[in-house]
């Protein structure tokens, strides 16, 4: 699992990156009440705002840490946005992106570096 400075995480299986927000980010947001996800088929560029998370405290943008095409979104979040709070780094994922530049993954932090970054 890799992390961005914008508090997103990425796991990669072949050429498909699964992306969500970190446990730290969901903790800062508080209770998530709504998630707006990108449309499947959208081509995204690294660091582009692609989703919105609304909590009882605030609305926050979600930035995609890698470039590619959105090939899936987590439809469960529409009916159960609190899944982001319960399982932010697993079942609460936001989208899957087919990577167009795997080299961008090298810019992301591992868990130890991310923990130091937020600590």
Q: What is the pLDDT of residues 65-90, one digit of tens each?
A: 999 999 999 999 999 999 999 999 99
The model's pLDDT over 12-56, given as tens digits with 9 standing for 90+, comes to 999 999 999 999 999 999 999 999 999 999 999 999 999 999 999
What residues contact residue 118 under an 8 Å CB cut-off, 6+ apart? Answer: 7, 22, 24
Q: What is the pLDDT of residue 2?
A: 98
User: pTM for this one?
Assistant: 0.96
Q: What is the pLDDT of residue 3?
A: 98
Query: How would you class 44 by CB atoms within 10 Å of its CB: exposed for 0-12, middle for 13-18, buried for 19 or more?
Result: buried
Q: What are the domain boundaries of the chain?
A: 2-102
Q: What is the pLDDT of residue 75?
A: 96
Token look-up 């998530």 returns: 32
The hierarchical CATH code for the domain 2-102 is 2.40.50.100
């Amino acid at each position: 699992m890799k992390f961005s400075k914008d508090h997103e995480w990425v796991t990669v299986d072949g050429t498909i990156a699964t992306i969500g927000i970190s446990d730290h980010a969901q903790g800062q947001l508080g209770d998530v009440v709504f998630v707006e996800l990108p449309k499947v088929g959208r081509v995204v560029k690294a660091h582009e705002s692609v989703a919105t998370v609304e909590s009882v405290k605030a609305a926050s943008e979600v930035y995609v840490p890698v470039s590619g095409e959105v090939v899936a979104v987590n439809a469960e979040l529409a009916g159960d946005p609190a899944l982001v709070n319960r399982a932010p780094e697993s079942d609460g994922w936001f989208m899957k992106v087919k990577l167009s530049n795997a080299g961008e993954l090298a810019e992301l932090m591992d868990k130890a570096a991310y923990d130091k970054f937020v600590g």
